[in-house]
Structure 1
Amino acid sequence: MPSAGRSRLPSFANIIARRGFQKWAARFPLTRRLVRREGEALFDLLAGFCHSQVLMALVQLEIPQALIEGPATSQSLAAKSGVPEDRMAVLLKAGTALGLLKSKRGGRVALTQRGAALVGVPGLQAMIRHHDVLYRDLADPVAFFRGETDPELAGFWPYVFGGDVDPQVAATYSDLMAQSQLLVADDTLDAVSLKGVRHLMDIGGGTGAFLAEVGARYANLKLTLFDLPAVAPHAEARFAQAGLAARTEIASGSFRTDALPAGPDAISLVRVLYDHSDETVSALLTKVYDALPEGGQLIISEPMSGGARPQRAGDAYFAIYTLAMGTGKARSADEIAQMCRRAGFQTIAQPAVRRPFITGVVVAAKGSS
């Protein structure tokens, strides 16, 4: 403790926060680049909402689709979109500043590589369009974090609360999930080998997008999809189209209330746990452990928190998203591993993934009793 009569030295953060220090650091040769870089980063946070709305407008007006065939003028894009030319010019310049578009000769604009990815990345535009719900939920961020709002997003994903789900709602949810599932499946299957697995069951597998990708990579693997009665039947057409009907089985049920089908020696939970509370997740992991044979494998793949080292995707996006859903949360790989151990799993690994902002992976094995 400081001695009586001696004031405590100011913290480094307090020094940086002083206006005089900021003025000095912005001029001093050894610090001015750092000050500029930090200032630009803060401005990006300030302007982030405008940036996201520019992205939303480009997608909703289908500008990327219009430009995928080649460059176009702002006048032609304005006419197609029903947007006044002067306002379209502002939108296109904003898209250029964000690295989605680039200027060409003759007053035309074209897609950059990043802009082309808006068209090429499966499910990306669907998720961007869906964000209008999240934006409304965050309109009053202070009330949101105080828990004083009634988030609209919770109504979009009613399945997480259990009970019956309207078939149309289930179809909307399943379609959105399926469109974005391909990237998750690619990164998961690149990180985890299923060699030696005889029978894989995917719990909460929706329309079967993940299992279809598994089936394409592993020709002799038996596949079972387990999901709610209103969701699972939509997988039949996908499996038939992929030529997997002969080795796939669809089991309808709720992992909350129903027993899991017997037989699989591997079970996958892809983007399932982060939708649910710790209590629900713990009960599910125990069910999975009991359903697996000795040596059976559990594969968990979903967006994850950085834990003690917070990450932008897991902690500044998915954690907020699940908070708006009203249940679930983004957990770190270590948290998930610990929950698996409490369920009885003994051997747990955290394989590296190519794109942690898309998904993280935890693999757990059931040991001998």
Structure 2
Amino acid sequence: MTDTVSAASAHRPGVTAGVSPQDGDVPAPVRMYEMLYSSLVSQLLIAVAELGVADALGDEVRHIDDLAERTGAHPGALYRALRALASVGVFTEVEPRTFGLTPLAATLRGDVPGSMRDLAKYVGLSERQRSFGALVHSLRTGQPSFDHVHGTDWWTYFAAHPELSTLFNNAMGNMARMVNGATLDAYDLTDVKHLIDVGGGQGHLVATLLARYPEMTAVVYDLARVVPEAAATVAKAGFADRVQCVGGDFLKSVPAGGDAYVLSWTIHDWADKDAITILSNVREQMKPGSKLIIIDEVLPEGDAPHFGKFEDIVMLSLLTGHVRTEAEFITLFEKAGLKHLETRPTSSPTSVIVAVPA
């Protein structure tokens, strides 16, 4: 995500919302005009991800006619889309009407490390888009616009639409792979012999950790419907003999016996009351010497830019949770019988927040 912002600002400040807010050369009305239209960048990225344009290009450069035929697109329309994206560093027009990938565009391939294609498709879900279109409801009421638009809450809706749940988990897998490397570089887990990943999704974090720490065993704990996907992930990684994939509800209980408990990109989904319940359930199972490791965004105070400040608006629209400051995490810990030990930034938008029994 940092690369996206850097590429955009290198071409023209203000093309994407939140990019290079200090630029005296651009009048405020012009900047506002550009920011109002910046959502088109996201919509174009979603559209080309859906078409598989980056996969069709691969390591080659292709004329727009060839590319349109490979993706089932209209040549003229596709050219206009790629020309626009190339202006912000996504794709490059190497010759007239002939395009290749840039490092940013390569992340939209489905077959590369660091792929963001599933995430782009998830961001483009009509259910999400309609909710963001009704964001004024959230601003007026403090309640999720998703519930207002769809007549039910996010989790109930996804439970009734398993195809969307799978896409969501795939997208979170994209995010996990982006965050995992940064987390591993920022925090050493050599002393952890048995780890429990609470809300572990498809098991990507555990698979990454076990590759780094050959003596570690783990539990991936998530809803029962997610367990088969997690089992497939750890088996494909070659760690089936070192991982248990367990179904359950962390609002009710979590497994016992962990040297470390991990909550990765999970707590921000939940309102304080539920977050305290989850943390309390973890605290109940922690033994002397256990630690809790939260991998999540930690918001800076004041006007300082941070991706999490916009992720927090996603929470406002879709869920009841919110992205928290360090002080807010500390308050949650105290109410759950935990003590904040440290907060360690990473090279990704997330930090590692560590707590121990109080």
TM (normalized to structure 1)?
A: 0.80
Q: Give the distance between the partners of 2:161 and 2:322, measured in 1 at CA.
A: 24
Q: Deviations over 1:243-301 (max 9, x none)?
A: 222222223211112x3222112100011101111001111112212211222110001
Q: Give the distance between the partners of 1:201 and 1:113, measured in 2 at CA.
A: 35
In structure 1, what is the equivalent of residue 231 of structure 2? 236
Q: How does 1:130-145 map to 2 (within 5 A)?
A: 130-132=122-124, 133=126, 134-145=128-139
Q: Report the secondary structure of 2:262's partner residue.
A: strand
Q: How does 1:155-174 map to 2 (within 5 A)?
A: 157-158=155-156, 170-174=165-169
Q: How does 1:29-108 map to 2 (within 5 A)?
A: 34-36=24-26, 41-105=31-95, 107-108=97-98
Q: Give the distance between the partners of 1:54 and 1:251, measured in 2 at CA.
A: 39
In structure 2, what is the equivalent of residue 270 of structure 1? 264
Gaps of 5+ in 1: 1-32
CA shift, 1:312, in A, is: 4.1
Q: Report the secondary structure of 2:294's partner residue.
A: strand
Q: Report the secondary structure of 2:215's partner residue.
A: coil
CA shift, 1:360, in A, is: 2.3
In structure 2, what is the equivalent of residue 13 of structure 1? none
CA shift, 1:238, in A, is: 2.1
Amino acid at match of 1:341: E
- Say if 1:166 and 1:230, in contact at 8 Å, map to a contact too: no
- Say if 1:307 and 1:334, in contact at 8 Å, map to a contact too: no
Q: Deviations over 1:66-115 (max 9, x none)?
A: 22231111222233344433322321211221211222235412122222
CA shift, 1:309, in A, is: 4.2
**Is structure 2 residue 280 aligned with structure 1 residue 290?**
no
Q: Report the secondary structure of 1:364's partner residue.
A: strand
Q: How does 1:296-311 map to 2 (within 5 A)?
A: 296-309=290-303, 311=305
Q: Give the distance between the partners of 2:107 and 2:161, measured in 1 at CA.
A: 33
- Say if 1:59 and 1:129, in contact at 8 Å, map to a contact too: yes
In structure 2, what is the equivalent of residue 16 of structure 1? none
Amino acid at match of 2:77: R
CA shift, 1:170, in A, is: 4.7
Q: Give the distance between the partners of 1:97 and 1:128, measured in 2 at CA.
A: 19
In structure 2, what is the equivalent of residue 199 of structure 1? 194
Change (3 A) 1:270 1:89: same
RMSD: 2.7
Change (3 A) 1:238 1:329: same
Change (3 A) 1:85 1:171: closer
- Say if 1:167 and 1:231, in contact at 8 Å, map to a contact too: no
Change (3 A) 1:308 1:167: same
CA shift, 1:35, in A, is: 3.9
Change (3 A) 1:47 1:305: same
Change (3 A) 1:176 1:344: same
Q: Give the distance between the partners of 1:153 and 1:218, measured in 2 at CA.
A: 45
- Say if 1:304 and 1:332, in contact at 8 Å, map to a contact too: yes
Q: How does 1:331-342 map to 2 (within 5 A)?
A: 331-342=324-335
Q: Deviations over 1:339-359 (max 9, x none)?
A: 113322234201121122xx2
Q: Give the distance between the partners of 1:47 and 1:72, measured in 2 at CA.
A: 29
CA shift, 1:218, in A, is: 0.6
Percent identity, aligned pairs only?
A: 26
Amino acid at match of 2:290: G
In structure 2, what is the equivalent of residue 217 of structure 1? 212
Q: Give the distance between the partners of 1:170 and 1:239, measured in 2 at CA.
A: 19
Amino acid at match of 1:70: E
CA shift, 1:40, in A, is: 5.6
Amino acid at match of 1:125: R
CA shift, 1:154, in A, is: 6.7
- Say if 2:108 and 2:115, in contact at 8 Å, map to a contact too: no
Q: Give the distance between the partners of 1:159 and 1:310, measured in 2 at CA.
A: 35
In structure 1, what is the equivalent of residue 11 of structure 2? none
Gaps of 5+ in 2: 1-22
Q: Report the secondary structure of 1:269's partner residue.
A: strand
Amino acid at match of 1:193: D
Mean alpha-carbon deviation: is it higher for 74-83 or for 194-203? 74-83
CA shift, 1:128, in A, is: 1.2
